[in-house]
Amino acid sequence: MDGQKSYQRYPTIKIRELKHDYAKFELRNTDASVANALRRVMISEVPTIAIDLVEIEVNSSVLNDEFIAHRLGLIPLTSERAMSMRFSRDCDACDGDGQCEFCSVEFHLRAKCINDNTLDVTSKDLYSSDHTVVPVDFSGDVGFDSGEEQRGITIVKLRKGQELRLRAIARKGIGKDHAKWSPAATVTFMYEPEIHINEEMMETLSLEEKTSVVESSPTKVFGINPHTQQVEVVDPEAYTYDDEVLKKVEAMGKPGLVEIYAKEDSFIFTVESTGAVKASQLVINAIDVLKQKLDAVRLSDETVETDDQFGELGAHMRGG
């Protein structure tokens, strides 16, 4: 409004590192409430697809039906189309039954051990009715021995004569309802630290004292330049806000030698995906969900304002 100060800010994101299941980025020009809202949405409100109903036809394995159903639910499924799917409770095509092409995906599993070797039944034995929704393939991950045959996530082991046959229905859901729908393995953020070294005071210290200052930090934040013998900031983001360096310089009688501040409008995010969606897509989907929630709040405020202006007439116009 004219004559009034605007508090509107325009957050920006800068990508630092991006892999299929990992992302590291900077979020600037916003406050902790927005950063934490984004983190919470990524963990618990971005929808994915997970097995929600299991019908066991035959199970002669050592694990009971409920155990197997629980293990199936925790297998991450590729969920690129989850945002466009319907929630089963809202699907009018199947009257909320949750077993139609618009709100579910059907899986089948048939396995029987016919020899003396133990048979590993894994996520790769699940056959999907939709080729875009399949168990996540971890064969390309670091640490996997490419010389071995990758058989997926183990569900159960069968001995000779044992059999497992089942039908499973996967549905859209969010982590707030059950952890199996959470697309995030971890999502963390930290304030970006701002570290200042008083060069004049540092000059008064001996090399041994400088070394003690550097070594007082549990993480390698500081280092000594081998040429100039000066203390330098090596990795500011390794700082964990433990205050050990500040306590050290205080004990040395040198307050102000090192000053560390947290930038209150700058955050460093680290996102690890379960593989259900790419880490980059997880961030984009979270922003979309957050925008939808803010739009709902704005519309709610507008409704309240209408009621204040028109009283019973406003409520009557909305059908109240």
* pLDDT for residue 3: 55
pLDDT of residue 102: 84
pLDDT of residue 307: 58
Three-state DSSP state, 307 = helix
> How does pLDDT run across 218-235, given as a tens digit for each residue?
999 999 988 888 899 999
CA–CA distance, 25 with 244 (Å, rounded to integer): 27
Q: What is the pLDDT of residue 79?
A: 93
Q: What is the pLDDT of residue 151?
A: 74
- pLDDT, residue 100, reads 83
Q: What is the pLDDT of residues 257-267, one digit of tens each?
A: 999 999 999 99
Evaluate whether 307 touches 314 at the Cβ level (below 8 Å): yes
Q: For the CA atoms of 75, 76, 82, 86, what is the dihedral angle to 10 degrees?
A: 20
Q: Which residues of the chain have pLDDT under 50?
A: 1, 146-148, 313, 316-317, 320
Domains located in the chain, CATH noted: 48-180 (2.170.120.12), 199-256 (3.30.70)
Decide: helix, strand or coil at residue 99.
coil
Has this prediction a pTM greater than 0.85? no
Cα separation values, 91 from 85, 87, 96, Å: 9, 6, 5
Residue 300: other Cβ atoms inside 10 A = 10
CB 77 within 8 A of CB 170: yes
Q: Residue 142's pLDDT is what?
A: 53
